[in-house]
Amino acid sequence: MMQELVERVKDVAKDAVNDAHTVIPGKIVSFDPATCQAVVQPVMKYRKPDKTTIDYPQITGVPVYFPQGNNQQASISWVVKPGDGCLLLCAEQALDYWMYGSESDSDLRFDLTNTIAIVGLFVHPGPGVQRACDEDAVVVMAGDVVLTVKPELVQIDGNLQVNGWIHSTEDMVAGSISQQHHTHTAPHGETSPPH
């Protein structure tokens, strides 16, 4: 009798844990930058009581995380495309109050309907990861343009457009021409270097 009770308690506890979602990998199906929400497909299988498996359903209205601060005046953003990998975090309770300012009647806890997506989870690394590790650097890649931040310098491979002023406390060199020491040939002789 006691053994049966222990087994039943174990089964109830196992069922409760099995119904609570925590973290699951997913793929972006679509993304709306105006709302910063995505439709996401969890990339795992759900095991039914009869031991067969089925795909999880798509989840709609999933908020997507981007690093932001200073009341969103400082941020890092990138394009989100269908097929991008993501990590789905299942919230402890409904996200309605946080997202819309209204409380929810939902008692669902750790449910797939209350997930947040962190985009960038892939099985295999992209070329930027290897380059960052090889060069002890932070590497930002956008197509053919690569920004590499190393302890001793910042390097840009690609075209650079600056909309604003540039201030340098040291000399700037374009090709082989020094901005501090260059001269020009004029009709009355060579000019003096800039001041």
> Which pLDDT does position 6 carry in this prediction?
60
Query: 31 or 194: which carries more pLDDT confidence?
Result: 31
- The distance in angstroms from the start CA to the end CA of the chain is 96
40's CB contacts (< 8 A; 6+ apart) are 26, 27, 28, 29, 58, 59, 62, 86, 88, 115, 117
Looking at residue 98, the DSSP 8-state letter turns out to be H
Q: What is the dihedral of CA 59, 41, 127, 79, to 10 degrees?
A: -40
1 pLDDT band (50/70/90 cuts)? Answer: low
Look up the pTM and report it: 0.72
Helices (H), 20-126: 96-100
Looking at residue 78, the DSSP 8-state letter turns out to be -
- Is the pLDDT confidence value at 31 over 90? yes
> Which pLDDT does position 38 carry in this prediction?
97
